[in-house]
Structure 1
Amino acid sequence: MSKLKITLVKSVIGSVPKNRAIIESMGFHKLNSSVVLPDNAATRGQIRRIAPYVKVEEVNE
């Protein structure tokens, strides 16, 4: 099963509160921090909502 490495590349100051909540729930704390999450429908949906704020790379295990 592949995983996604997601990096926060844009500040969430002034963003929509729902998008800010999604970013916090994914585990981001600071700008340029990265998290590795499973590649599933729920994660893809979250990424679609916060696409302007993140960079996504595929990581194979």
Structure 2
Amino acid sequence: MEKIKVRLVRSLIGCTPQQRKCVAALGLRKIRQENELPKNESTLGQIAAVCHLVEVVE
């Protein structure tokens, strides 16, 4: 299965609680922290919800 790397590049200050939960579900806590996740529909949906906060490297 393909994997993608997701990096948190912006702060969560001023975000909605739902966006904070999406970032936490992606396994990110601090700025510049990276996590490698499987490329599936649920992961891509979470990334789309917080696309202005994260950077994706395939």
* The two structures share one fold, judged by TM-score above 0.5: yes
* TM-score between both structures, scaled by the size of structure 2: 0.95
Which sections of structure 1, spanning at least 5 residues, go unmatched? Answer: none
User: Residue by residue, what CA displacement relative to the aligned partner does 1:10-45 show, whole Å, maximum 9, x if unpaired?
Assistant: 000110110001101211121000000000000000
Query: What is the percent sequence identity of the aligned residues?
Result: 38
* Superposed CA RMSD: 0.6
Aligned residues: 58
Q: Which residue of 1 aligns with 2:6?
A: 6
SS at match of 2:52: helix
* TM-score between both structures, scaled by the size of structure 1: 0.90
Deviating beyond 4 angstroms after TM superposition, the runs of 4 or more aligned structure 1 residues are none
**Structure number, greater radius of gyration:** 1
Which sections of structure 2, spanning at least 5 residues, go unmatched? Answer: none
Equivalent residue letter for 1:50: V
